[in-house]
Structure 1
Amino acid sequence: MRMLMKVEMDTEASNDLIRQGAVQGLMEEALGRIRPEAAYFTVENGCRTGYFFFDLTESSALPSISEPFFMRLGAKIHYSPVMNREELAEGLSRITTRD
């Protein structure tokens, strides 16, 4: 299932990792595990925030995906199932309407 994971990083924890020169390694390790089809970075609610779109093959993978962000960045994480354009069209084609 295609998922959107939003990672809102604690400012002080992410500042510390940046000062240590470790944030790039953390991101490379995490993104290597997730293998996102897209990754975007911005600021939301005054915090560094990443959006990762990836295929979740089994729910038991969630802890290994989330924990590096929780443990090292004090992050708040939110998951949402998402669809691309083709999947939306397929889903809409399954809707039956009644007159």
Structure 2
Amino acid sequence: MRMLLNVKIPHQPFNAAVKDGTAASKLSRILEATKPEAVYFTEQNGQRGAILIVDLPDPSKTPALAEPWFLTFQADVEFRVVMSPDDLKRAALDELGKKWS
């Protein structure tokens, strides 16, 4: 299942990593472990943030996606199920509309 991870990184832990020169290596380690399909770094409500698209083959793998952010940067992580246009085509919306109308 494709998931969107929305990561909000607090200033203090990331600032400390920037100052001690470990920010890049810590981010690389997380990204190597989670193997996102895509990742974008952005601002979120005045804080550093990241948006990742990942494949979650099994719900038991959720901690492996979140814990690196929690433990490394004390970040908040939100998960959302996402679909590609092809996934949406296979959702049979017309049939659901007929069934529930």
Normalised by the length of structure 2, the TM-score is 0.88
Aligned residue pair count: 99
Return the offset for 1:95.
Answer: 2.6
Q: What CA deviation, in whole Å up to 9, does each residue of 1:69-90 have, x standing for no partner?
A: 1112110110011001110111
CA distance, structure 2, for counterparts of residue 55 and residue 88 of structure 1:
17
CA distance, structure 1, for counterparts of residue 48 and residue 95 of structure 2:
39
Q: What RMSD in Å do the two structures reach over aligned CA positions?
A: 1.6
Q: What CA deviation, in whole Å up to 9, does each residue of 1:16-63 have, x standing for no partner?
A: 111111111121111112111110110011110000001001122222
**Which residue does the alignment assign to 1:42?**
42
Normalised by the length of structure 1, the TM-score is 0.89
- Over the matched positions of the two proteins, sequence identity in percent amounts to 29
**Which residue does the alignment assign to 1:95?**
96
Gap runs ≥5 in structure 2: none
**Which residue does the alignment assign to 1:61?**
61
Q: Which amino acid aligns with 2:73?
A: L
Gap runs ≥5 in structure 1: none
